[in-house]
Structure 1
Amino acid sequence: MLTLPPAIPLFDSIQYLEDGNAIVNQHLSEVTLSAVSDAGFVYEYAVDWLLEQRHSENNYKTYRSELTSFLHWAYTVEQISLSMVTRRVLSKYLDYCSKPPLELIAYRNVAQFVVDKQLKERVPNPQWRPFLGKKIDGIEQPYQISDKALKTKLAILSSFYAYLINEEYTERNPAMALMKNGRSKASSQHIISGEDLEDIKSFSDLQWSYVMSAANQLAKQSPEDNERVLFLVSLMYSCYLRISEVAARPGFSPIMGQFKRDTKTSVWGFYIPRSKGGKKRTVAVSKQLLDALQRYRRFLQLTPLPTPNEKTPLFVRHRAAGRGRDSGLLNANLGIRQLREQIYILIEQAAKLAEADGFKQDANEIRQLTPHSIRHTGISHDINLVGRPLSHVQADAGHDSIDTTSQYLHTSRVERHQSAEHKPLDHLN
Structure 2
Amino acid sequence: MPNTLPDTRHPDSLIAAQSDQQAVLLWLSEFIDRPATLRSYRKETERFLLWLADRNKGLQAVRREDVLDYQRFLQAPWPAERWIGPARPRQHAHWKPFTGPLKPASIRQAITILSALFSYLSEAGYRHGNPFKLLRQRQPPDTRPMERFLDHTAWQAILSALEQLPHNTHREQLQAARARWLLTLLYLTGARRQEVATARMGDISQRRQQWWWRVHGKGGSTADIPVSDELLHALGDYRHSLGLGRLPLHGEDTPLLCRIAGQGQDSLHGVSDKAIYLICQEIFKRAASHCTDPQSRSQLLQASTHWLRHTAASHQLEAGVPLLMVSQNLRHASIQTTRRYLHSEDDARHQATAHHSMHGTRKHTPTDEH
Counterparts of 2:179 and 2:111, CA distance in 1 = 30
* Offset at residue 413 of structure 1 (A): 6.4
Distance 2:69 2:289 in 1: 53
CA distance in 2: counterparts of 1:351 and 1:378, whole angstroms? 19
TM-score of the superposition, structure 2-length normalised?
Answer: 0.65
Q: 1 CA distance for matches of 2:184 and 2:218?
A: 21
Does residue 377 in structure 1 map to residue 299 in structure 2? no
Number of the residue aligned with 2:67? 97
Within-5 A mapping of 1:4-153: 4-6=2-4, 31=27, 34-36=29-31, 40-43=35-38, 68-69=47-48, 94=64, 97=67, 111=82, 121-122=91-92
Whole-Å separation in 1 of the counterparts to 2:47 and 2:283: 32
Aligned length: 302
Task: Quote the residue 2:343 is aligned against.
Answer: 410
Q: Percent identity?
A: 22
TM-score by length of 1: 0.57
Answer whether contact 1:5 1:124 (CA < 8 A) is retained.
no
Q: One-letter code of the match for 1:122?
A: H
Larger Rg: 2
Which one of 143, 149, 165 corresponds to residue 194 of structure 1? 143
Report how far residue 412 of structure 1 moved: 8.9
Change in Cα spacing, 1:337 to 1:183, as seen in structure 2 (3 Å) is closer
For residue 202 of structure 2, the aligned residue among 257, 266, 277 is 257
Q: Residues 405 and 70 (structure 1 numbering): CA distance in 2 closer, same or farther, change over 3 Å? A: farther
Structure 2 unmatched runs, 5+? 6-22, 53-57, 71-77, 113-132, 365-370
2:186 to 236, 239, 252: 236
Matches of 1:93 and 1:407, distance apart in 2:
39
- SS of match in other structure, 2:225: strand
Tell me which of 364, 368, 386 is aligned to 2:298: 364
Specify which of 317, 322, 327 is matched with residue 259 of structure 2. Answer: 317
**Per the alignment, do residues 299 and 409 of structure 1 end up closer, same or farther by CA in structure 2, a change over 3 Å counting?**
same
Q: Using the TM superposition, give the Cα deviation of residue 122 of structure 1 relative to its aligned residue in structure 2, in angstroms.
A: 2.7
Tell me how far 1:330 sits from its aligned partner.
Answer: 6.2
Q: Which runs of 5+ in 1 are unaligned?
A: 8-26, 48-63, 79-91, 101-106, 115-119, 131-151, 163-180, 248-252, 322-327
Does residue 300 in structure 1 map to residue 242 in structure 2?
Answer: yes
Q: Distance in 1 between matches of 2:302 and 2:362?
A: 42
Q: Given residue 276 of structure 1, which amino acid in structure 2 is its aligned partner? A: K
What does residue 275 of structure 2 align with?
338
Structure 2: distance between partners of 1:5 and 1:124: 19
Q: Look up the match of 1:267.
A: 210
Q: Displacement of 1:365 after TM fit? A: 2.2
Shift of 1:153: 11
Counterpart contact for 1:219–1:227, Cα < 8 Å: no
Deviation at 1:336, TM superposition (A): 1.7
| CA displacement, residues 147-198 of structure 1 (integer Å, 9 cap, x when unaligned) | xxxxx99975446799xxxxxxxxxxxxxxxxxx975466x7xx86334xx2
User: Is the 8 Å Cα contact of residues 243 and 372 (structure 1) preserved in structure 2?
Assistant: yes
Judged with a 3 Å threshold, the aligned counterparts in structure 2 of structure 1 residues 207 and 182 are, in CA distance, closer, same or farther, namely same
1: distance between equivalents of 2:261 and 2:306?
26
Corresponding letter in the other structure for 1:207? A
Give the whole-Å Cα distance in 2 for the aligned partners of 1:231 and 1:349: 17
Residue 170 (structure 1) aligns with: none
Question: Secondary structure in 1 aligned to 2:194?
Answer: helix
Question: CA–CA distance in 2 between the matches of 1:160 and 1:234?
Answer: 33
